[in-house]
Amino acid sequence: MRQLVHLKDTVSLWQELDSQAQTSLELADLALEEGDYSLQSQLEDEAGKISAILAREEIKLTLSGPYDDRPAIVSIHAGAGGTDSHDWTDMLLRMYLRWAEIQKRPVQVMDLSYGEEAGLRSATLEIGGDYACGYMAAEHGVHRLVRLSPFDPNHLRHTSFSVVEVLPVAEEDAEITVRPEDIRMEFFRASGPGGQNVQKVASAVRLTHLPTSVVVTCQNERSQHQNREFAMRILMAKLLDRQNREREAELAKLRGERISPEWGHQIRSYVLHPYKSVKDHRTNHQSTNPEAVLDGELNEFIEAFLLSRVGREDR
């Protein structure tokens, strides 16, 4: 049913575009015959709208991977940089939440692990909507921040790193089979803010898949049941990724090579001092407005990466 709805939406989009183009062409021909240029501005606006939709659909042509159309589980982990890296992880989480909000995509924060002084050690969220995993694949890798540290008493410039991991959600079918006896479930008290209930009740969940030793923890929600559900979704995604990497080496790009979140490995740099810039080192795409990027305006970077990937495949 999901595939049927998707195909119907695709057909409807192209039929509507075809109708709009035909109408515009007929109006343009009529205006030329009668020498009436009063519709020029309207026709240019219509042509611009059609071109924008075509450009968006061209981007989607790059999303032909077997899991590109699935929801994405995005995990952010603090790297080198101490407290600044914890704060940077928190900033990246907000950036992705804002991007999902701007794009009108459903999003659910699944797990948060707080730093000792500030920020987050790690965060996991699920982003839905059309081709969520395909779009978010552009964010996989190490992200570097350069700024005047608010945690340094001398207010010196610091560099911090966080690594972003993107996994496709496992479908609820025979794709991944997990036997109940293969899972060890443990409960513990959550850490960080959240009120007395979160800190005093053993609502946090740790799942261990015994055959593979894959461990997942979830402590974001007050409900033990909700944490268990989120932990299972993350575990299934990790097992799917593991299965794909073992099955075919070429599918390793789903997760990519394990990289260390420190100097020399970053895919993108966000500089707030001494100048303002965001630069993607894979595509050389650059913005001089890091505030807007950190507020969720990510599409130009994502699209530049997807188009560059097409260029590499053509070569």
Q: What is the pLDDT of residues 235-266, one digit of tens each?
A: 999 998 888 877 665 544 555 555 555 666 79
Q: In whole angstroms, what is the distance from residue 137 CA to residue 74 CA?
A: 9
Contact 148, 57 (CB under 8 A): no
Q: Please tell me the predicted confidence (pLDDT) of residue 130.
A: 87
Structure-model confidence comparison of residues 49 and 89, the more confident one = 89
Structure-model confidence comparison of residues 47 and 5, the more confident one = 47
Q: 78-101 pLDDT, tens per residue? A: 998 899 999 999 999 999 999 999
Q: Please tell me the predicted confidence (pLDDT) of residue 60.
A: 81
Length of the chain measured in residues: 315
Q: Please tell me the predicted confidence (pLDDT) of residue 137.
A: 94
Is 174 a residue whose pLDDT tops 70? no
Residue whose C-alpha is closest to residue 72's, from 124, 113, 10, 123: 124
77 DSSP β-pair partners:
122, 163
Q: Locate the DSSP E strands across 58-203.
A: 72-78, 107-114, 120-127, 141-148, 157-168, 183-188
Q: In whole angstroms, what is the distance from residue 165 CA to residue 136 CA?
A: 9
Is 136 a residue whose pLDDT tops 60? yes
Answer positive or negative: Cα dihedral of 228, 233, 234, 238. positive
Q: In whole angstroms, what is the distance from residue 271 CA to residue 148 CA?
A: 10
Q: Is the pTM of the predicted complex or chain greater than 0.75?
A: yes
Which residues, 6 or more positions from 26, have their beta carbon under 8 angstroms from its beta carbon? none
Is 312 a residue whose pLDDT tops 70? no
Contact 228, 185 (CB under 8 A): yes
Which bin fits 171, alpha (ψ -120 to 50), beta or left (φ > 0)?
A: beta
State CA 126 to chain mean position distance: 8
Dig out the tokens for 245 from the structure: 């990497």
44-62 b/e with 16+ CB inside 10 Å = b? eebeeeeeeeeeeeebbeb
Q: Please tell me the predicted confidence (pLDDT) of residue 264.
A: 66
Place 7 in a pLDDT band, splitting at 50, 70 and 90: confident
